[in-house]
Structure 1
Amino acid sequence: MAENRAQIKALESVSNQANWNDFVAPLDHIEERLGRLWATVSHLNAVCDSEDLRRAYEAALEKWTTYQTEVSQNRDLFAGFKRIEESRELDSLDLAKQKTVGNAIRDFRLGGVELEGAARQRFADIATELAALSNRFEQNLLDATDGWHLDLTEEVDLEGLPESSRALALQAAKLAGIEGWRFTLQASAFIPFMMFSSRRELRRKMYHAYTTRASDCGPNAGEWDNSVVMDRILELRSEQAVLLGYDQYVDYALVTRMATTSSTVQNFLDDLVQRTRSYARKDLEELAKFAAQEEPNTKLEVWDLPYWSERLRQSRYKFSQEEVRPFFPLPRVLEGMFEVARKLFGIVVRPAASKPQVWHPDAMFFEILDDTENVCAQFYLDVYARANKRGGAWMADCIGRYRKLDGSLQTPVALLTCNFAPPVDDKPSLLTHEDVLTLFHEFGHGLHHMLTKVDEPAVAGINGVPWDAVELPSQFLENWCWESAALDLISEHFESGERLPAELLQKLRDARNFQSGLRMVRQLEFSVFDLRLHSRLENKGKQSIQDVLDKVRRDVAVVQPPSFNRFQHSFSHIFAGGYAAGYYSYKWAEVLSADAFGRFEEQGLFDRDSGRAFLTEILEQGGVRDPLAMFVAFRGRKPSVDTLLRHLGLAG
């Protein structure tokens, strides 16, 4: 940072005669170098948490945020970019450089560069505090997740659980040095327990612990409570937006999105709620009826829903996720996924010739060869759940593509992280089909980052891509997980070597849209909650976060959880993950991805021309072009929500 500050000082002195080569290029160089360093630090904080690393990260985070604010409020740098924008040079620059200049000017303004006096300092202070609060939110959630478990010693308490779930719990108990079985709140343990355990009181216990993590309720009430953290985050975001002249935070956040107004987003969500809520009600009614038939006088509670849903799925389709698990050993799924990418985009993915230093023995390292057989990208893959690792799945930028000052090209590197059940005994990690979808999703993000042909770091890969378009490649790639030609590539029984049988494949596909109404409305509930939470200036001081969520549930949801449910306390996407006033992006991009896949439905699953077009029109473009224009160039028309609803079986 000291080196960067010194070089920025030198650039300030020439801002009144700024041009690309002598001003923007050297600034990009030092910013890219520092960004690479911080990407590594940030990743380690997420995947191998410890007290020492946590203290070091918190100290570094404050310095990092202070530096970022200094740069975003540097008026000499701002003036330099404006000079280029207003000069004749701009027209001579390529589109990537022009976009870099335009985005920089926009981001300087969003960073408070035009504020004066106390407002300017206040904006900087808010940025520092928000970074610390988001980190604290994530740490509280990690500690709360790791801080509770269910230990069982009687085999009768395992009734209904599949062998894979029992084996994982047995392994967890052995690692902890105890007898019996240990079920944690990590998704790989929690989800199958809720789906298969026939012990209702234990399901309630698990649900209660899971939905009260990091809150004022539950078995660890108040210990890692995010309540004050969330209130403060929302308060500061609102103040930040007002300082820049916006009425509410959502207006500030949407400046960089495809959907540029809150009314556009609200209308989009309202339309989907109106179209799909009746399907969700029908799903719930069918589930309640089925449970009552199987166990008369049973009152369906929320901790019963996964269990009875799985029972209904098995009854209706003669299918369970556990049936397909043996056919999806991780090594085979990876091999098949890479073959899908080869068929679509002409790339080859293979283990790297030499493995660099990694943070955990389970982390893998791969390289990608382009159609000229040159290494064009690399990525780390860390897929197993473990203690001291953040939950969920994500892709992060490790190193971006960049044409350096000496003309050499920097190879992009991605960080792909999941939380699947690890290998048990002599068995490989066996994935559910949901896990396979998650893996393809994150790989899609990775390809977006790694296959870019843009040389300017600010708009290469996912950089500069509007947040509500960034999910397009990830959700797009998921579609191949349902197609027989692709499933033949990614499935192989871990013992017999048999491909996924046609009968089982048909059951899988038949069950694809099982409870799609409930799943859609659940995601819409999250999206509307996020939007209202960041649009509530008129309710300032009157409505708590819980009040907002309760109202959203009355307006949108068909399932009403118990009063102790504290979902919001673990909603990392909006409080720590960059999706503030942006959770709608998943549904927004899902419309794009479903419609984009429609071309392959029409032309062929592995149609080479279509694959090449998606590569050149979407993946390679980075953040240079308008996402809607890119979509139209690929699809030949604007997107339609009807394709998504048809895929989900929710078309009227």
Structure 2
Amino acid sequence: MTPADNPLLDFSGLPRFDAIRPEHITPALDRLLADAQAAVQAIENDTAPATWDTVLTRLEAATEPLGRAWGIVSHLSAVVDTPALRQAHAENLPRVTEFSAALGQNLALYRKYKAIAEGPEFAGLSPARKMLLEHELRGFRLGGAELPEDQKARFAEIQEAQANLSKAFSDHVLDATNAYALFIEDEARLAGVPEDALEAARAAAEKDGKAGWKFTLHFPSYFPVLQYADDRTLRQTLYEANVTRASELTAYNQGKPEWDNSANMVEQLALRQEESRMLGYGNFGELSLVPKMAESPEQVLTFLRELADKARPFAEADWAELQTFARESLGLDKLEPWDLAYASEKLREQRYAFSEQEVKQYFPEPQVLAGLFDVVQTLFDVVIAVDEAPTWHPDVRFYRVSSRDGRLLAQFYIDLYAREGKRGGAWMDDARGRKRLGNGSVQTPVAYLTCNFSAPVGGRPALFTHDEVITLFHEFGHGLHHMLTQVEDLGVSGINGVEWDAVELPSQFMENFCWEWEVLSRMTRHATTGEPLPRALYDRMLAARNFQNGMMTLRQIVFSVTDMQLHTDFDPRGNQSVLELARTVNDTFHVIPQATLSRWPNSFSHIFAGGYAAGYYSYKWAEVLSADAYAAFEEAAQTRGTVLDPETGMRYRQAILEAGGSRPAMESFKAFRGRQPTIDALLRHGGMAA
């Protein structure tokens, strides 16, 4: 079989998305797994002294193609899910997991890695390679290489079971999201819903050959209803459908019993607990933190409690104000969960004299992308231009990132709109990492940037909410971390090898520019008039920046504490359910009661299908770093008159982005700021400073 026969075997350039079919997956994996296994066997059998080139270079040459091909399959599964693709993915997931688990347990390889670390070659290795070797040795220990032989089979079973359960969890959430449809024919029930949301709903109904308007549980469809619809019953219907996805309460969401993730969560938690104890840890929280910045679950929980204590007075004030407003201005004596977004938006409009819908008119997609690229080009001395490559959907676009002298640095795909068959949320993933090739040339990185925004309707460009603009900047921050790395060893290049609780630093850092007048004045243009964002409206937006931030902070803390407690002192086989623990955490930390109906853990994909298990706290942990890093740009603006300061931008690029995972994240932070991080900037940005 040749690359001409099977595009998944073609690594000569960019993925051939226009040619890849589900039937290519199994034959490609047959070949790639066989090649990788043969390479492992050859390295094991080599009796010569172990060196970097005879072990790590050879192993990477055989396993990187496997990783890239499987990455393409997993990406397609997330963005253009079909029954045939899902079946091919499901058939091959156990094989890939089995190979990965066997590699992590390979004692012969582990001994060769240790021999390199303890041998004469080690002293001459670059700092990046020393860091990579340290990570690999840790990976072998966490992969079960030191387990007794009679335990390795069970450990491998656990890895395969977890991979299958994680994929099933994600599939169930996607299926439950895709299955739901609410058709409304009485236009009076849609009073208050913005015209662009109605236009999209009308187009969706027409596509199905139905009259009226179609609403789904994809965020751009259901959330405008929750936020703007005057019909309280309509809000309740969509709210209840959304918070019961992938649960036993299928009567609310047109789901199927087999999509219920309740047992899946328990099984995953039990397997994680068993895995951690086999490796000598008290719980999965301890195991999860081994490669992270935080030192213990107790340290994480202390951090979250302290942040909750600072946020709570602001949250209590937010909640009291919202209840009073709803009672006095909206006639809602009791705020129900489906009233919160609606009442909050009405309060925002009253207090700050603008609505999110009004702001949205100033953020047409072409202007937003141009503004984002302008910020990146100004700060980091690069050029972003349209490029060409095969894509997986007509909506996807492709760009190149070059140095000023035209040298290619990286490329990226951008897939912005929600659609059926596409997993919800927003994320960055790597299609290819930066590394030095054997012929002396450099393989440049390629990124996937995926969002779920409203698609264009009526022949006009898509309009983004300000929150969506922030999300786009966030994901592009991750992309920059991957794309601007100068590290040429794949395992610590870009986001590879970066501690999980520091990986959000570059993404959250970029969000700050979405609040700067000099940025917004250049990246906005009214969809109808073409006028830039008025300064008076910007000032009101800025005043509202921390609107209900106390409540939103406690919401994130509930997610983070629930995650950490599920992975530390929770007994999956005990009397308390996952949902009961989540309620207890909410009662302890939040000022808003959790809805009785809510089954939100059943769709908590971050920790059950997204790699954030015992790591969701990292959003808040990294926010301390990102806010402090951004404060350097605010300081530069005091003397240079602009936060878009190229000198500070280049220092940040070199210290944070280019270094990737080649050194501890704290070293990179201190290289940029010259000191340890403090929480001061986070509290100030969040309106919670003393």
Identical columns (%)? 45
State whether structure 2 residue 532 is matched by structure 1 residue 532.
no
Q: 1:579 to 1:632 in 2, by over 3 A?
A: same
State whether structure 2 residue 609 is matched by structure 1 residue 576.
yes
Contact 2:272–2:284 (CA under 8 A) maintained in structure 1: yes
Determine the structure 2 residue equivalent to 1:351.
386
State whether structure 2 residue 87 is matched by structure 1 residue 52.
no
1:413, 1:297 → 2: CA distance? 51
State whether structure 2 residue 115 is matched by structure 1 residue 96.
no
1:28 to partner: Cα distance = 1.6
1:461 to partner: Cα distance = 0.4
SS in 2 for 1:397: strand
State whether structure 2 residue 360 is matched by structure 1 residue 360.
no
State whether structure 2 residue 376 is matched by structure 1 residue 341.
yes
Determine the structure 2 residue equivalent to 1:522.
555
Aligned partner of 1:240 among 275, 297, 304:
275
Determine the structure 2 residue equivalent to 1:476.
509
Aligned partner of 2:97 among 65, 87, 90:
65
Aligned partner of 2:321 among 281, 286, 303:
286
Kindly provide the amino acid, as one letter, of the partner of residue 233 in structure 1.
Q
1:22 to partner: Cα distance = 1.8
2:95, 2:185 → 1: CA distance? 48
Contact 1:256–1:467 (CA under 8 A) maintained in structure 2: yes
Kindly provide the amino acid, as one letter, of the partner of residue 646 in structure 1.
R
2:124, 2:655 → 1: CA distance? 23
2:220, 2:315 → 1: CA distance? 26
2:490, 2:558 → 1: CA distance? 36
Contact 1:214–1:225 (CA under 8 A) maintained in structure 2: yes
1:297, 1:413 → 2: CA distance? 51
State whether structure 2 residue 541 is matched by structure 1 residue 503.
no
Aligned partner of 2:223 among 161, 172, 191:
191
Determine the structure 2 residue equivalent to 1:155.
187
Aligned partner of 2:106 among 36, 58, 74:
74
SS in 1 for 2:630: helix
Contact 1:29–1:404 (CA under 8 A) maintained in structure 2: no
1:519, 1:631 → 2: CA distance? 27
Kindly provide the amino acid, as one letter, of the partner of residue 623 in structure 1.
G
Aligned partner of 1:419 among 435, 443, 452:
452
2:678, 2:257 → 1: CA distance? 46
1:263-315 CA-partner distances (Å, limit 9, x unpaired): 11111101001111121111011000001111346211111000000000000
SS in 2 for 1:467: coil
1:418-457 CA-partner distances (Å, limit 9, x unpaired): 0000000121100000000000000000000010000000
Kindly provide the amino acid, as one letter, of the partner of residue 506 in structure 2.
P
Contact 2:227–2:345 (CA under 8 A) maintained in structure 1: yes
1:198-256 CA-partner distances (Å, limit 9, x unpaired): 10011111110000000011333624111111110001000000100111000000000
State whether structure 2 residue 364 is matched by structure 1 residue 325.
no
Determine the structure 2 residue equivalent to 1:383.
416
1:495, 1:90 → 2: CA distance? 63
2:597, 2:59 → 1: CA distance? 51
SS in 1 for 2:259: coil
Determine the structure 2 residue equivalent to 1:445.
478
Kindly provide the amino acid, as one letter, of the partner of residue 412 in structure 1.
P
Contact 2:363–2:464 (CA under 8 A) maintained in structure 1: yes
Aligned partner of 1:489 among 522, 529, 532:
522
1:552, 1:173 → 2: CA distance? 40
Aligned partner of 2:671 among 630, 633, 639:
633
Determine the structure 1 residue equivalent to 2:644.
606
1:574-626 CA-partner distances (Å, limit 9, x unpaired): 00000000000000011111111101111020112110011000000010111
1:84, 1:410 → 2: CA distance? 26
Aligned partner of 2:301 among 266, 283, 299:
266
Determine the structure 1 residue equivalent to 2:654.
616
Aligned partner of 1:206 among 233, 238, 245:
238
Aligned pairs (5 A) from 1:145-184: 145-184=177-216
Runs of at least 5 residues in structure 2 that lack an aligned partner in the other structure: 1-32, 638-642
Contact 1:99–1:624 (CA under 8 A) maintained in structure 2: yes
1:71 to partner: Cα distance = 0.8
2:566, 2:625 → 1: CA distance? 26
Aligned partner of 2:334 among 299, 305, 323:
299
1:88 to partner: Cα distance = 1.6
Determine the structure 2 residue equivalent to 1:462.
495
Kindly provide the amino acid, as one letter, of the partner of residue 608 in structure 1.
P
1:371 to partner: Cα distance = 3.2
2:333, 2:533 → 1: CA distance? 37
- Superposition RMSD in Å: 1.2
Contact 1:15–1:80 (CA under 8 A) maintained in structure 2: no
Contact 1:15–1:23 (CA under 8 A) maintained in structure 2: no
Kindly provide the amino acid, as one letter, of the partner of residue 194 in structure 1.
L
Aligned pairs (5 A) from 1:17-28: 17-28=49-60
Kindly provide the amino acid, as one letter, of the partner of residue 286 in structure 1.
E
1:183 to partner: Cα distance = 0.8
Contact 1:521–1:557 (CA under 8 A) maintained in structure 2: yes
1:584, 1:283 → 2: CA distance? 23
1:150, 1:77 → 2: CA distance? 56
2:161, 2:240 → 1: CA distance? 31
State whether structure 2 residue 65 is matched by structure 1 residue 33.
yes
SS in 1 for 2:290: helix
Kindly provide the amino acid, as one letter, of the partner of residue 76 in structure 1.
A
1:267, 1:402 → 2: CA distance? 39
State whether structure 2 residue 264 is matched by structure 1 residue 229.
yes
2:261, 2:464 → 1: CA distance? 32
State whether structure 2 residue 425 is matched by structure 1 residue 392.
yes
State whether structure 2 residue 155 is matched by structure 1 residue 123.
yes
Determine the structure 2 residue equivalent to 1:642.
680
2:645, 2:581 → 1: CA distance? 47
1:613, 1:26 → 2: CA distance? 35
> Alignment length, in residue pairs?
650
Contact 1:339–1:489 (CA under 8 A) maintained in structure 2: no
1:38, 1:4 → 2: CA distance? 13
1:32-56 CA-partner distances (Å, limit 9, x unpaired): 2221111111100000001000000
1:642, 1:459 → 2: CA distance? 30
1:491, 1:622 → 2: CA distance? 32
1:325-345 CA-partner distances (Å, limit 9, x unpaired): 121111111111001001110
1:449-504 CA-partner distances (Å, limit 9, x unpaired): 01000000000000000000000000000100000111123211233321111111
2:545, 2:152 → 1: CA distance? 52
Mean alpha-carbon deviation: is it higher for 384-393 or for 322-331? 322-331
2:325, 2:47 → 1: CA distance? 71
2:54, 2:467 → 1: CA distance? 50
| TM-score, length-scaled by structure 1 | 0.98
State whether structure 2 residue 620 is matched by structure 1 residue 587.
yes
1:364-409 CA-partner distances (Å, limit 9, x unpaired): 1000012332111000000000001000000001000011122221
Determine the structure 1 residue equivalent to 2:21.
none
Q: 1:297 to 1:361 in 2, by over 3 A?
A: closer
1:539 to partner: Cα distance = 7.6
Runs of at least 5 residues in structure 1 that lack an aligned partner in the other structure: none
Kindly provide the amino acid, as one letter, of the partner of residue 259 in structure 1.
A
Kindly provide the amino acid, as one letter, of the partner of residue 316 in structure 2.
R
2:224, 2:565 → 1: CA distance? 32
1:8 to partner: Cα distance = 1.2
2:123, 2:149 → 1: CA distance? 36
Structure 1 residue runs of 4+, over 4 Å off?
537-540
1:540 to partner: Cα distance = 5.1
Kindly provide the amino acid, as one letter, of the partner of residue 649 in structure 1.
G
State whether structure 2 residue 436 is matched by structure 1 residue 403.
yes
1:415, 1:329 → 2: CA distance? 22
Q: 1:485 to 1:413 in 2, by over 3 A?
A: same
Contact 2:326–2:332 (CA under 8 A) maintained in structure 1: no
